[in-house]
Every structure is written in structure tokens, then in C-alpha cells.
Amino acid sequence: MKKIVFALGLLGLSALANAADPLDGTVWKTIDDKTKQPKAMVKFTEQKNGTLSASIQGILTPGEEKACTKCEGPYHNKSLKGLKIVHGLKNVGGTRYEEGSILDPQTGKTYKLKGQMTNGGKNLELRGFIGIAALGRNQVWVRAN
């Protein structure tokens, strides 16, 4: 009986270990929605509260490795590398995400954020917006790992 309980306990622990969000630990190449050129490498990390954040790991556009001069508050003049640009993104089922926010380092503005992984997890379709989703813009990021 003890062996059965022990085996069930191990199965439960392995199920919890596999319950991590599909975005956790993934790295994405951001693609500018206007120029269609790669801009940066961004890594998602699941927070203790279950939401996701993402930080810039590297800049892909030469000459744009500068600080976030248009950002306000704690982000003002911070290096773009390591800058956390996504906050509070929640998985609302499968590969759909809502209720997050995203910082645009070029303008210093923060937008509401929602998105979905598509193409078998190879793409991340994001929509940044103010107020309602109809007033926003889309970007498609490409999985790098």
C-alpha cells in the first residue's frame, strides 16, 4: 500500500512540474509591424503569481542598443537589454493570453496586451491597444528556441 501511495505522489509531482505555462522560458524574435524587420530577442518568464513577464535579451537592430530615453518612471534611461517590456500577461486557456501590458521602448508608452500562440507554437500573435482592442496594432513574433 505504501508503494502505491508513493508512486501516486510521484505522478502528482511530475504533473505539477509539467503544468508550467507554454510561454515560460521561451525566447522570441520581435518583428516590427511597420518595417517587418527583426528588432529584439525577448524571453518570457512565469512569475510566482502565475502571470508572465518578458524581458529584452538582445537588440537585433544595429545602433538601437541605447537606453530607454522616452520611458518614464523606473524605466527612464535604463538599458534596453534586460528591460522588462511585458507585465502581467495571463493564460486564459490553452495558448491564449490577456490582461497584460507591454512597454514600447521607442515611444515610452505602455499598452494593454493580449495574444495567442499560433502555427503550432512557432508564432506569437500580439495585440497592443489603448482602451479597447479595436484601437491598437498587431505584431507577430517568431519563436527563437
pLDDT tens for 63-108 read 776 788 888 888 888 889 999 999 999 999 999 999 999 999 888 9
φ, ψ (nearest 5 deg) of residue 75: -95, -10
Domain ranges, ordered by start, for the chain? 21-143
Cα 23 from Cα 139, distance rounded (Å): 16
Q: What is the pTM of this model?
A: 0.81
Please state the rounded mean pLDDT for residues 134-142: 90
Looking at 3.40.50.170, 3.40.50.300, 3.10.20.30, 2.40.128.520, the CATH number of the domain 21-143 comes to 2.40.128.520
Greater pLDDT, 33 or 65: 33
pLDDT score, position 19: 58
Q: Is 29 helix (H, G, I), strand (E, B) or coil?
A: strand
For residues 23 and 9, the model is more confident at 23
